[in-house]
Chain A
Amino acid sequence: MEKITVTLISGRTSRQGVGLEVGKTSEEYFESVSYIELSAGDAESLGVGDGDHVKVETAHGSVVVSVKLSDKLEPGTSFFPYGIWANQVFGSETGGTGMPQFKGVEAEVTPSGAGVPSLADLVATLKGGS
């Protein structure tokens, strides 16, 4: 299959916490947040495995990240660690509450041959603006 649809949830992980305290420019941090977790079933239908790259796309944006297999997730749900990579695909609409929807967002996932953008790449995109 070339594409699957998942419900994305973002959140913290202890690795992300450890990484950010080393520094956001560190390799540890990059490794801890530039991936999504997929269930074995979903990964299989996409034909991807651990470490392969996928493009995650929502109504708000897209980003390429690597894949990490999870034996806990059920098919259809994908976990995205909290960080600048995840924030490429979440929208700024808050429904009048101040809080964007960081959990329960529908996304399309496709295999990708592109590289995972670096922190600097993503900051450059922000600077490039609009």
Chain B
Amino acid sequence: MAVFTDVVCPFCGCLCDDLEITVKGNEIKGAKNACAISRSKFMSHRENRIMTPTVKGKEASLEEAVEAAAKALASAKRPLVYGLSSTECGAIARCVELAEITGGVVDNTSSVCHGPTILALQQVGESKASLGEVKNRADLVAFWGSNPPAAHIRHFARYSVTPKGLYVPEGRKGRYVVNVDVRETPTSRVADQFIKVDHGGDFELLLALRAAVRGTEITEDVSGVPAEEINALAKRMKEAKMGIVFFGLGLTQSDGRHMNIDAAVGLVAELNHHTKFVLTPMRGHYNVAGANTVTTWQSGYPYAVDFARGYPRYNPGEYSAVDMLAKGEPDAAIIVASDPAATFPADAAKHLARIPTITLEQKVTPTTMLSEVVIPVATAGIEVEGTAYRMDGFSLRLSKVVEPHGGVKSDREVLDMIVERVKALKEDA
């Protein structure tokens, strides 16, 4: 029996790094400190695994599958490389290279989660902080359009609500917690104050709050929120010693999208004239921040990057995966560590069934079910080491606690093989 301590969890953007994984033989027997989802990931990682590569539904050797993948990508005019967010940074880097050598497009799941957050950052910036700043200093914590108990289960306990910090020694009692959402959630029940905003009304409410912070008294209800509540919250925010807004897909996926974030950034920036205030997106996949980070240092751009001209170009809305698929543009696709067939609107997802789609995945998913080439891979963070970036942008080393199930290779190794073959095929051509 071996116990691995300080293991980083490869599920959500919290990247909790205090797991204790017990392993006997090559099997995981226990996952201490893990949340329900994390425990499911560790304990069930061998269930429903794909055991052999397939090409057009028939079992194939790894080499045959790689050859089929390389041929499809090398001969494509507009290949799409998509996913990236649930694997380690080495694999992400190879995805960028694959797009570069095929003259294709590389996009990651941020285009359908916090892509609008990045668009807003490119417009107006962002005042942010590492999660420990929140733990140590924040006496006002707002969750706006986000609900950590659903997808970031230990966030409250480790970072934002209950932990005792350097200047918040009393923990939960030392913080005022606000929740703004269109519906009541478990977060509302934890919060000291729940503010219900009308559907699509976040932008106006954020602007009203900003105006109140600037000293304009709000005299009318905004987006279903009473004027006095807005004025009072603005006052409370200004009087906080240090405040934070954690925002989620409630802002990025609703009407207004990046303009909602633009307004939130503006509010927080405004508050910095009075006190210290920051905001942080609740990043979903454990390494979606890494997908943005690596793609940015290699190409200059965080997602939706097109190499058709030999140099990187960036245009979300055009080179983003949903738009490309909806328009039927790609003539081949490689999906790494993602399941767009399930997570994209059906109208976009169905194009993946019309073209040669290559998928690197651990388990059967709707995407593998419609792929021409499927290559099973090892699970990063359980069976493979690597780097992942937390929601606040800081990176940690993922652990390998067991050997890959069935001896499969990692995303990085398979991508290396594909990259080499594509290069060779391009040389020949």
Contact = CB atoms under 8 A, between A and B. Distances in A.
Check whether chain A touches chain B (CB < 8 angstroms): yes
Interface of A: 7, 9-14, 17-19, 21-26, 60-61, 72-74, 77, 79, 82-84, 87-88, 90-104, 119-120, 122-123, 125-127, 129-130
B48 A87 contact: no
Given A98-B323, A101-B253, A7 B37 contact: no
A26 B345 contact: no
Contact of A92 (B151, B182, B326): B326
A104 B255 contact: yes
A126 B353 contact: yes
Interface string B175-203: 00000001111000000000010011000
Contacts of B323: 92, 94, 98
Contacts of B341: 84, 123, 126
A98 B286 CA distance: 21
B346 interface: yes
Contacts of A87: 342-346, 349
A20 to B, nearest CB: 8
Interface of B: 11-12, 35-37, 40-41, 44-45, 47-48, 107, 111-112, 115-116, 119, 147, 149-151, 153, 182-185, 196, 199-200, 249-250, 252-255, 257-258, 284, 303-304, 316-318, 320-323, 325-326, 339, 341-350, 352-354, 363-366, 369-370
A97 B11 contact: no
A23 B184 CA distance: 29
Contacts, number: 191
B369 A123 contact: yes
B150 A14 contact: yes
Nearest to B37: A17
Contacts of B365: 24
Nearest to A98: B320
Q: Which of B252, B303, B341 has the most CB of A within 10 A?
A: B341
Contact of A60 (B41, B112, B185, B347): B347
Contacts of B250: 9, 11, 103
Given A23-B44, A24-B342, A104 B115 contact: no
A77 B347 contact: no
A18 B254 CA distance: 25
B150 A13 contact: yes
